[in-house]
Amino acid sequence: MKADLIIKNIDNLITLKGPNRPRVKEEMEDIGLIKNGIVATRGDRIVYVGKGELPEDIERHEETIIIDGKGKTLTPGLVDSHTHLVHGGSREHELAMKLKGATYLEILEAGGGIHNTVKETRRASFNELYEKAKKSLDIMLSFGITTVEAKSGYGLDDFDTEIKQMEVAKKLNEDHPVDVVSTFMAAHAIPPKYKDNPRAFMDLIIDEMIPYVAKKRLAQFNDVFCEKGVFTIDETRDILLAGMEHGLLPKVHADEIEPLGGAEMAAEIGCISAEHLVAASDRGIRMMAERGVIATLLPATSFNLQTGKFARARRMIEEGVAVALATDYNPGSCPTENIQLVMSLASIIMKLTPEEVITAVTINGAAALKLEDEIGSIEVGKKADLVIFDAPNLDYIIYHFGINHTDKVIKAGKIAFEKHNNIL
């Protein structure tokens, strides 16, 4: 067989080889490290993974690209399994409010926060949303992200805006090298006109929006912001169950700020993932482990909310919950696309080991998007999504924090990003 791309002499080839399912407990430490590794790809697939030289049956052709991996670390493409990618405007004015002590929920309650972005997103044209999100996708790609989840949720009861967001995500998935997986999340805040009657908004979501989104295949997942002052546990359950009836897989923003029992509910109905979980209870964590619900943790959000409270990742791993890490990129609680910073925060603050961290942003993130058979590890037959880090080992990427370590990003077998040192 002839290879199109060969990366050889890789100091640290981190394969994540193992079962195509979320990794738990000590499995999260087992990153399938190969020293002096070599990887070959053909078309969009990985055709060889090993050590030293290629076997004879893998040949070069005239245009085969050969990359030297000396001094480099290679990982699977990173999976950002929780973002609010498509939105209008920005909310830098909230910084001063937060510095004066206003909390995220106070700003939301006062009609700011998500409601502010809803106004901007309604106002923005398809093209404006597309160009803004494309810019973010470019940044994400440059940080090594090859697959991203994108939630709607800045239209709320304005269904056209919800659809506009999902259509933008769909078009970007077609046009941009990064794969975009769509999640429907109209249940992101209670629109002011439904403040005293949230059930009427839920009826709209359940009876009109969900059937339409499912029929038009605009999203694969369904998500709800289950939080004090937003959707209650019972309301969240109803919306997620309604989505399941139409084939939308349930995810949930759970126990982000107040311990409402979102983790328990996620386990009870079998969510694919529960996300945030900063205030998740011991019982909720145990139930998630038993039911196999992935915990998607978002430490950059905790950092930016200035609460000093982070999800109990160590406890979750000890109890057997599969942990994924994501940026939560959005204009309010987490305006960053830098997943490498998230990786450092997860390690430095949440005390995950570098091995657990890389598992959380590859195979476990892939599993949170139901893509574990396609991506998330470097194995023959999987999609050739690869990141070459200009770093001698994994620890170095986490330790030298806040900067971008990528040298090249390969998406579906093609070089999609390359670092240039254009210092003039």
Interface with ligand NIG (CB under 6 A) = 84, 113-114, 117, 225, 253, 256, 301, 328, 330-334
C-beta nearest to ligand NIG: residue = 332
Smallest distance, Å, CB 364 to Fe ion?
17
Q: Given the complex with ligand NIG, which of 277 and 386 has the nearer CB atom?
A: 277
Q: How far is CA 119 from CA 89, 111, 398, in A?
A: 9, 11, 37
Between 114 and 209, name the residue whose CB sits nearer to ligand NIG: 114
Contacting range for Fe ion; rule: CB under 5 A; set: 8-16, 28-36, 322-330, 409-417: 322-330
CA-based nearest residue to 74, from 385, 327, 415, 398: 385
Nearest CB to ligand NIG, comparing residues 85 and 358: 85
DSSP string of 98-166, one letter each residue: HHTT--HHHHHHTT-THHHHHHHHHHS-HHHHHHHHHHHHHHHHHTTEEEEEEE--SSTT-HHHHHHHH
Query: Going residue by residue from 243 to 262, which x/- string records binding to Fe ion, judged by CB under 5 A?
Result: --------------------
Shortest spacing between CB 252 and Fe ion, in angstroms? 10
The candidate with the shortest Cα–Cα distance to 325, out of 301, 298, 352, is 298
Residue 225 binding target from ligand NIG, Fe ion, none, CB below 5 to 8 Å by type? ligand NIG
Least Å from the CB of residue 399 to ligand NIG: 27
Q: Which residues pair with 49 in a beta bridge?
A: 39
Query: Contact, 172 vs 130, CB < 8 A?
Result: yes
Q: C-beta of 154: minimal distance to ligand NIG in Å?
A: 7
Which candidate, 148, 154, 139, places its Cα nearest to that of 89?
154
By beta-carbon distance, which residue lies closest to Fe ion? 328
Q: Which is closer to Fe ion, CB of 328 or CB of 355? A: 328
* SS3 of the chain: helix, strand, coil, percent, to 5: 35, 25, 40
Q: Taking the chain, what is the end-to-end CA distance rounded to the nearest angstrom?
A: 43
CB of 130 to Fe ion, least distance (A): 21
Q: Which is nearer to ligand NIG, 243 or 331 (CB)?
A: 331
| Contact residues: Fe ion, CB under 5 A | 328
